[in-house]
Amino acid sequence: MATTSCCVPSTSTTCSSSFSLRVKRNSNSLSFMGSLSFSSNANSLSAGFVSLSIKQNRPRNNSLQVRSVAAPSEAVAGFDEMVSGTQRKYYMLGGKGGVGKTSCAASLAVKFANSGHPTLVVSTDPAHSLSDSFAQDLTGGQLVPVEGPDCPLFALEINPEKAREEFRSVTQKNGGTGMKDLMDGMGLGMLVEQLGELKLGELLDTPPPGLDEAIAISKVIQFLESQEYSMFTRIVFDTAPTGHTLRLLSLPDFLDASIGKILKLRQKITSATSAIKSVFGQEETREDASDKLERLRERMVKVRELFRDKDSTEFVIVTIPTVMAVSESSRLSASLKKENVPVKRLIVNQLLPPSASDCKFCAMKRKDQMRALDVIQGDPELSSLTMIQAPLVDVEIRGVPALKFLGDIVWK
Ligand SMILES: Nc1ncnc2c1ncn2[C@@H]1O[C@H](COP(=O)(O)OP(=O)(O)OP(=O)(O)O)[C@@H](O)[C@H]1O
């Protein structure tokens, strides 16, 4: 099969238990597409597995190298493995800002939906770009149907600032009833009594650290408990850049700290108003509230377990082929490992496609990218992940057809 298209990756290294190759020939190289089994441990092979090391017929700094190993059954497979089964699975895509997390997450969601899975794609990044990616207004903090895919695909942009605004406005009217409804809606109803006596309007003007995460967390709890979300068999998270993601993942620790802060604050206020305290029967309320908070903490522990369950959850790191992005990805991988979050795949996005006639700029750029790929292969954190190489495409990835195009390249 011949190709000259720049938009098609010269080398696609994905994984599956099968070992089928499509070979393409262009003017000066052979390239391989399809379900190549790949392991970044390809250098050291265990008995019984076959390895291929294929180098394209181009100068060193102009070549993409494919190393492929027939994967053992328990190792990472390709999209076949991601799509199989009707039990709910969670995919979280994260990495440095601007590397293509949203594009990859949205393309995965489209691919799941086109493969028969009712899918939800959620953005927990305060600087959302899902709407831009789908070319559709998905703002509003509600489930919004995405038009185009075969199966239902819904998107949800969690907007912490907007939620905080709503939160503040309802605390200022209806004597707190509106606030109760809102907090119930966020899965935090049990905190209402606890917080009821605090001046929430003031509190929200100077929000305690972690409030944004609390809102995101409450949405995650909804996924687990609400009927509205029960139809989804695949949930894809487009996460915020690294730091936020890690905070989101350490839910119970975060909650412990936040609840601690809330209780401390409450204590301060109640002791400062000790005269009023007796009127409101503080002691009884406190005990009751602690029980509720403890129950909430237990739910959080369940969420944590789920997010660390290698059968249902996978964190996919997205990076670009620059040494800076690779370094950050390595740190992210180390932190996720420490948190026991399953990570198997690394997408190296925006690789320059092959060209028979590189200009000086492209040749330099390609050389840099090859250096970054070498860094990945020598990195103790990243070299054990399955690398998916995704090309820089020459169209803007916007709208479902473009996302399908990208998804068919990346997810195989
Ligand atoms: N493989 C690719 N080829 C061409 N353009 C790409 C590719 N991947 C991403 N882009 C473009 O790069 C830009 C940034 O991508 P995207 O918004 O997906 O990144 P992000 O990591 O989610 O960014 P942020 O951290 O700001 O949320 C977008 O304009 C997107 O269309």
What are the extents of the domains in the chain?
A: 1-77+353-391, 160-231+241-306
Closest CA to 208 of 159, 168, 257, 252: 257
Judged against a pLDDT cut of 60, whether residue 278 lies above it is answered with no
Residue 78 pLDDT > 60 = yes
Output the CA 135–ligand 1 centroid distance in Å.
Answer: 14
- Does ligand 1 come within 6 angstroms of the Cβ of 349? yes
Question: Active-site residue numbers?
Answer: 125
Could you tell me the maximum CA-CA distance found in the chain, to the nearest angstrom?
A: 87
Task: Work out the pLDDT band at 165, boundaries 50, 70, 90.
Answer: low
Please identify, by atom number, the ligand 1 atom nearest to the C-alpha of residue 349: 1
Mean pLDDT of the chain: 70
For residues 221, 222, 226, 230, the Cα torsion angle rounded to the nearest 10 degrees is -90
Q: How confident is the model at residue 5 (pLDDT cuts 50, 70, 90)?
A: very low
The answer, yes or no, to whether any atom of ligand 1 lies below 6 A from the CB of 350, is: yes
- Say yes or no: CB of residue 103 within 6 Å of ligand 1: yes
| Ligand 1 midpoint to CA 199 (Å) | 41
Establish whether residue 105 lines the binding site of ligand 1, counting it when its CB lies within 6 angstroms of any ligand atom.
no
Return the ∠ at Cα 123 (arms to 141 and 403), rounded to 5°: 115
pTM to 2 decimal places: 0.69
CA of 125 to the centre of ligand 1 (A): 14
Q: Is the CB of 187 under 6 A from ligand 1?
A: no
Burial per residue of 286-302, b for 16 or more beta-carbon CB atoms within 10 angstroms, e otherwise: eeebeeebeebeebbee
Give the model's confidence band at 215: pLDDT under 50 very low, under 70 low, under 90 confident, else very high: low
Which position has the higher pLDDT, 390 or 208?
A: 390
Between 170 and 303, name the one with better pLDDT. Answer: 303
Atom 23, ligand 1: which residue's CA is nearest? Answer: 98
Higher pLDDT, 310 or 407: 407
- Best of 397, 400, 404, 409 for a ligand 1 pocket test (most atoms within 8 Å of beta carbon): 397
CB proximity list for 45: less than 8 A, separation 6 or greater: 51, 69
**Closest ligand 1 atom, residue 390 Cα:** 1
Higher pLDDT, residue 221 or 48: 221
**3-state DSSP of the chain:** CECCCCCCCCECCCCCCCCCCEEEEECCEEEEECCCCCCCCCCCCCCCCCEEEEECCCCHHHCCEEEEECCCCCCCCCHHHHHCCCCCEEEEEEECCCCCHHHHHHHHHHHHHHCCCCEEEEECCCCCCHHHHHCCCCCCCCCEECCCCCCCEEEEECCHHHHHHHHHHHHCCHHHHHHHHHHHHCCCCCHHHHHHCCCHHHHHHCCCCCHHHHHHHHHHHHHHHCHHHCCCCEEEEECCCHHHHHHHHCHHHHHHHHHHHHHHHHHHHHHHCHHHHHHHCHHHHHHHHHHHHHHHHHHHHHHHHHHCCCCCEEEEEEECCCHHHHHHHHHHHHHHHHCCCCEEEEEEEEECCCCCCCCHHHHHHHHHHHHHHHHHHHCCCCCCCEEEEEECCCCCCCCHHHHHHHHHHHCC
Distance 131 CA to ligand 1 centre (A): 13
Average pLDDT over residues 383-408: 95
Phi, psi of 91 (to 5 degrees): -125, 125
- Model ipTM value: 0.98
Atom of ligand 1 nearest to the CA of 396: 31
Q: Which residues of 27-43 are buried (b: 16+ CB within 10 A; e: fewer)?
A: eebebbbbbbbbbbbbe
**Which atom in ligand 1 lies closest to the alpha carbon of residue 125?**
27
> Which range, 1-10, 262-271, 295-304, has the best average confidence (pLDDT)?
295-304
What percent of the chain is predicted at pLDDT more than 90?
34
C-alpha separations of 180 from 47, 186, 208, 290, 376 in Å:
62, 10, 19, 18, 49
d(CA 139, CA 143): 9
pLDDT (tens digit per residue) in 326-360: 999 999 999 888 888 899 999 999 999 878 787 88
Residue 129: predicted pLDDT: 87
What single letter denotes the amino acid at residue 192? V
| CA 356 to chain CA mean position, Å | 36
